[in-house]
């Protein structure tokens, strides 16, 4: 079915022109649709999709004449989604995929490659994401840009079921290095003669990253950052001298740091006498660095005990990542 292209009409300011002929088919035109009788700007209507096309030009290849058609209709309705090969449409062309109920629009054509974006339910294509530093990040081959936190100060949790990302400014408690360990029983005759004794707090209340070893007393930093440590140590069986030194310090992979340094005098010669001290310190640690606590008592024989109890934290070691 066709409408003749030989009718005459008057166009304002342009004089006499030709009313374009239209052909009506149940498909879109292709390069082989060169006639018969088609001339430039021939019209074509797809009666199924309601798409409107016009003949833009002719090209010759290996002795064959090919037609160049371009769509001008408001909406293309098909049972498939558009691809980059669907470039013979004007910018802004709408396309509906009836099978998936998705709605697309043509936003760019470069070198015969079309860029369509899916506007269904607010979806679309993100060109780039730009952070505070490092420049713009483009999607990968699948069109994805991964948003991740460092797992320490920021945690990003994705929920594909609800299409949401949830950011936690302080991360998840279960991923933050933090521990508290106590000595659950007294250890006897470990110092007094200036022997340096490593505290081994053998009972953990918690250790969220399993970074403290209850058999060696060593904490190993699982992440690089600033850590805060608190230590308490109570010694007993203080006898035999009127003048004792008490030193409590941290030993790390890079340095030793004093927590408590005391000189004790005028003590009674009493096996029930106890002395306790505690300290807090902040340290920069690199992932893999270690930290442990040492107590050193001098001025007596090696008869000084470190006091522990299963229900009372006389001696303890705790730490957590600050940032």
Q: Which residues contact 25 (CB under 8 A, 6 or more apart)?
A: 44, 45, 46, 47
Residue matched to tokens 């649709």:
33
| CA atoms 198, 199, 201, 202: torsion sign | positive
With bands split at pLDDT 50, 70 and 90, how would you rate the model's confidence at 220? very high
- The percentage of residues in the chain with a pLDDT greater than 90, rounded to a whole number, is 34
Q: Which residues contact 68 (CB under 8 A, 6 or more apart)?
A: 31, 55, 56, 57, 58, 59, 88
Average of per-residue pLDDT values in the chain: 82
Provide the CATH number for the domain formed by 177-321 in this structure: 2.60.120.40
With bands split at pLDDT 50, 70 and 90, how would you rate the model's confidence at 97? confident
How far apart CA 274 and CA 237 sit, in angstroms, is 7
Q: Are strands 43-46 and 22-25 parallel, antiparallel or unpaired?
A: parallel
| CATH 2.60.120.40 in the chain, residue ranges | 177-321
How far apart CA 124 and CA 113 sit, in angstroms, is 18
How far apart CA 304 and CA 196 sit, in angstroms, is 12
Burial class (CB in 10 A: 0-12, 13-18, 19+), 66: middle
φ and ψ at residue 143, rounded to 5 degrees: 85, 15
With bands split at pLDDT 50, 70 and 90, how would you rate the model's confidence at 73? low
With bands split at pLDDT 50, 70 and 90, how would you rate the model's confidence at 13? very low
Helix ranges restricted to H, the chain: none
Six-digit token pair at 55? 């003949």
How far is the CA of 278 from the CAs of 194, 222, 231, 318, in angstroms?
19, 25, 5, 11
Which of 291, 255, 257, 278 lies closest to 177 in space, CA to CA?
291
DSSP letter at 20 equals P
Q: Which residue has the higher pLDDT, 73 or 72?
A: 72
- pLDDT for residue 230 is more than 80: yes
């Amino acid at each position: 079915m066709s409408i003749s292209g030989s009718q005459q009409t008057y166009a304002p300011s342009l004089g006499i022109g030709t009313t374009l002929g239209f052909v009506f088919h149940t498909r879109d035109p292709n390069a082989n649709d060169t006639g018969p009788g088609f001339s430039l700007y021939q019209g074509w209507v797809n009666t199924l999709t309601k798409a409107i096309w016009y003949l833009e030009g002719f090209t010759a290849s290996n002795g064959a004449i090919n037609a160049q058609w371009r769509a001008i209709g408001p909406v293309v309705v098909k049972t498939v989604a558009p691809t980059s090969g669907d470039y013979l449409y004007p910018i802004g062309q709408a396309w509906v995929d009836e099978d998936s109920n998705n709605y697309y629009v043509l936003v760019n054509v470069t070198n015969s490659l079309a860029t369509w974006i899916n506007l269904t339910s607010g979806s679309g294509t993100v060109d780039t994401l730009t952070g505070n530093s490092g420049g713009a990040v483009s999607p990968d081959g699948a069109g994805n840009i991964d948003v991740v936190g460092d797992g320490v100060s920021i945690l990003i949790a994705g929920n594909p079921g609800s299409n949401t990302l949830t950011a936690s400014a302080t991360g998840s408690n279960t991923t933050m290095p933090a521990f508290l360990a106590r000595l659950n029983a007294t250890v006897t005759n470990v110092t007094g003669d200036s022997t340096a004794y490593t505290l081994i707090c053998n009972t953990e209340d918690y250790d969220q990253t399993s970074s403290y070893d209850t058999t060696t007393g060593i904490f190993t930093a699982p992440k690089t950052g600033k850590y805060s440590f608190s230590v308490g140590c109570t010694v007993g069986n203080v006898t035999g001298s009127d003048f004792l030194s008490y030193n409590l310090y941290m030993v790390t992979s890079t340095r030793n740091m004093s927590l408590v340094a005391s000189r004790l005098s005028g003590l009674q010669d009493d096996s029930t006498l106890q002395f306790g001290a505690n300290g807090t310190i902040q340290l920069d640690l690199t992932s893999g660095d270690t930290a442990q606590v040492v107590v050193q008592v001098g001025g007596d024989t090696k008869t000084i005990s470190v006091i522990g109890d299963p229900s009372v934290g006389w001696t303890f070691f705790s730490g957590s990542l600050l940032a």
